[in-house]
Amino acid sequence: MTTTIGADAQRVDGLDKVKGRNIYGADRILPRMAYAIPVAARVGKGTIRSIDTAVASRVPGVLLVLTHENMDRLHPVAFSFAGGHAIQGMMPMQSATIAYRGQTIALVIAEMLEAATEGAEAISATYDAQPIAVQMDAPGREEVLQDKVTEYFKDIKQGDADSALKNAEIVYDQTFFSSAQHQNPMEMLSTIAEWRMGHLIVHEGTQAAQALKQGLSIALGIAAEKMRVIAPYVGGGFGQRGSMSPHTVFAAVAARRVGRPVKLTVSRPQIFHATSFRPATERRIRLGLTKEGVIQTGIHEVRSQTSRFDRMPYTGEETTGRMYAWSAFRGSTTLVKQDIQTPGFMRAPMEMASFFGLESAIDEVAFRLNIDPVAFRLKNEATRCPITGKPFSSRRLQECLQRGAEKFGWNRRNPIPGSMRADNGALIGWGVAVGAYPGYISPAVAVIRMYPDGRIVLSVGGHEMGQGIRTAIAVVAASELGVSPDAIDITIGDTAAPPQHTTAGSWGAATAMPPVQDAARRLRMRLVELAANRKNSPLNGADARTLTLSNGKLMHTDGRSESVADILKAAKLDHIEVQAQGAPPGLRPTAYQDAAVGKIAFAGPEFPDYVAFSFIATLCRSAGRPSNPSSSCDPRGLSS
């Protein structure tokens, strides 16, 4: 019988969270702390002709007003998907140029938040505005092929999809659109920066502490060894905290200029412009099928927003291409450069819009062929990856669909549009869709230290964004070390610990757990080595396979034991420390070095021997407004 590690575990930080004990980035109140408020541009594109800071500077309590005229000259930090550390490659307040609406043009630092706010409201500017392009087909846009301008998420091609489409008995061709979407989590973008003897300490809720550290080092021209980023908890990341944003640099500069700690919190309205967002997209879905409903080919072409200065890659067709058993598939992306800040990721990143298009297409084809939409998906289920031919690491989508349909009562569905109504006359719709998300893994290092009194200190790359990674780390280590999970002191999100790789893409647990488990096992084996090789140890000569750790003792299956304290005392050690690296397959040779300095360094979903995705089937019921029960519907499902 197998057991699941941590199946019944309590959240190790749950009680602290509900009691408000956990300290988030901007929760601290430091001695002599000042406050900074950004001021946003009110034109979409252009040049600052003049900026008036005189009134703001006279507000009581205002310490400093920064604009492009007196801001520190910063070194450029490259965009994360260009091999850098920043959420975008353009830093505001370095010139009079306005690249997008909401761009920061000034920063007011004051002794009190109220004074900083009053000063920010007093800033006025005049502009030489220029025409802007912010919509997909706006004049002035530039278009580039993603496959030609970035190394990430290359075009996907298997077989001759275009020829197969021409020869198909049935051809489906439709274009779907998704609008730009912005995340605005409970914890606003916020930073506290303080300088101590030439060293910078940054407290910030981030998914990428190492990227912040290295990015700040580059921007400020100061050695990374003089930087520390601390992010024990994040109150909502959703993708927008995966690299260094401009506000972090502003806080560091402000703190250095006024000689005291500075807290900078971006207001909720400004968050829509101060960091990344999910871009607007246009996707053309084409399918070629037989009359019996066998999908032979698929083509997924995407147009996606990016900024003028960065090339943010789109990732959708990488996933949609693996969904059905087509023999030919082609997926490509065109990036549309516009006058916006650089887009990025958002919860259910780019797969959300991609599957909206693909699954809408699948539903429309099923209706056209008069095939039940669940049966249609099962008919075209892929048993191996249709792009690579490799097996999936796991794929139970067929079972998921069948079980879901059974529990949902799908067989009671009437497929005729407009035929199902609630007791109050409201139209009822039943729907189904499937989805997938790539399996990614990033390199990580775990370090565990055990003391004679049984204390265990563990550090590993990772960030706690509410997903419970701290608990997962604790239960995995505890299962190997024979202690309660809450007995382990865990450090994550702190660059004083091992490299804090970016935690994103649902790879946090998959990345951190292997090195944590390996380090815990190595620690146990080190204790075994110290005890079993010592003549006067009760465990002398014992086979390592017969020894386990439990409650601070190394125990033999026959009942013999020796405490950790005695083992370390005999070895004249005040502690024992081990380190382990995660070793996901398929990593590029520089992955560990890149992760150590906060660069993107993940592997997947294609691994050497398999392809890894998680899959989902969703069945839903929706009801419209009550309507006249006698109204009819035409075959397209439109009320007549």
Residues 558 and 626 in one domain: no
529-537: long-range pairs with CB below 8 Å, 24+: 530/567, 530/568, 530/570, 530/571, 530/576, 531/562, 531/567, 534/570, 534/571, 536/570, 537/562, 537/567, 537/570
CB 605 within 8 A of CB 598: no
pLDDT at position 43 over 80: yes
What would the pLDDT profile of 92-110 be if each residue is shown by its tens digit? 999 999 999 999 999 999 9
The SS3 assignment for 126 reads strand
The burial class, CB within 10 Å (0-12 / 13-18 / 19+), for 195 is middle
* Whole-angstrom distance, CA of residue 624 vs CA of residue 369: 26
CB 367 within 8 A of CB 197: no
Residues 490 and 567 in one domain: yes
What angle do the packed helices 469-481 and 508-532 form, to 10 degrees? 20
pLDDT-derived band at 625 (thresholds 50, 70, 90) equals low
CB 555 within 8 A of CB 481: no
Tokens representing 348 are 């259910």
* Whole-angstrom distance, CA of residue 116 vs CA of residue 112: 6
Residues 432 and 454 in one domain: no
- Residue 476, in any domain of the structure: yes
| φ/ψ (deg, to 5) at 564 | -60, -40
Residues 431 and 455 in one domain: no
What would the pLDDT profile of 232-285 be if each residue is shown by its tens digit? 999 988 889 999 999 999 999 999 999 999 999 999 999 999 999 999 999 999
- Residue 608, in any domain of the structure: no
pLDDT-derived band at 10 (thresholds 50, 70, 90) equals confident
pLDDT at position 67 over 60: yes
The SS3 assignment for 111 reads coil
Residues 583 and 475 in one domain: yes
- Residue 507, in any domain of the structure: yes
Residues 592 and 630 in one domain: no
Residues 463 and 394 in one domain: no
Residues 422 and 485 in one domain: no
What would the pLDDT profile of 536-589 be if each residue is shown by its tens digit? 999 999 998 899 999 899 999 999 999 999 999 999 999 999 999 987 888 888
What would the pLDDT profile of 174-220 be if each residue is shown by its tens digit? 999 999 999 999 999 999 999 999 999 999 999 999 999 999 999 99
Q: Which residues touch 446 (CB under 8 Å, ≥6 apart)?
A: 458, 459, 460, 461, 498, 512, 515, 516, 518, 519, 579, 580, 581, 582
pLDDT at position 3 is 60
- Residue 513, in any domain of the structure: yes
Mean pLDDT of 378-395: 97
pLDDT at position 636 over 70: no
Residues 552 and 637 in one domain: no
pLDDT-derived band at 9 (thresholds 50, 70, 90) equals confident
pLDDT at position 395 over 70: yes
* Tally: H helices and E strands in the chain: 16, 25
* Whole-angstrom distance, CA of residue 520 vs CA of residue 579: 9
Q: What is the CA radius of gyration of the chain?
A: 28
What would the pLDDT profile of 474-510 be if each residue is shown by its tens digit? 999 999 999 999 999 999 999 999 999 899 988 999 9
pLDDT at position 634 over 70: no
Sheet holding 488-491, edge to edge: 488-491, 456-460, 445-450, 576-581
409-412: long-range pairs with CB below 8 Å, 24+: 410/374, 410/619
The total of structural domains in the chain comes to: 2
pLDDT at position 631 over 50: no
Where on the phi/psi map is residue 268: left (φ > 0), alpha (ψ -120 to 50), or beta?
alpha
Question: What percentage of the chain exceeds 90 in pLDDT?
Answer: 84
- Residue 56, in any domain of the structure: no
Tracing tokens 């500077």 back to the chain, one arrives at 57
- Residue 197, in any domain of the structure: no
Which domain range does residue 394 map to? 390-438+622-640
pLDDT at position 533 over 60: yes
- Residue 455, in any domain of the structure: yes
pLDDT at position 627 is 54
Instruction: Please report, for the domain that includes residue 511, its CATH number.
Output: 3.30.365.10
- Residue 640, in any domain of the structure: yes
Residues 465 and 401 in one domain: no
Residues 535 and 408 in one domain: no
Residues 563 and 538 in one domain: yes
Mean pLDDT of 40-52: 97
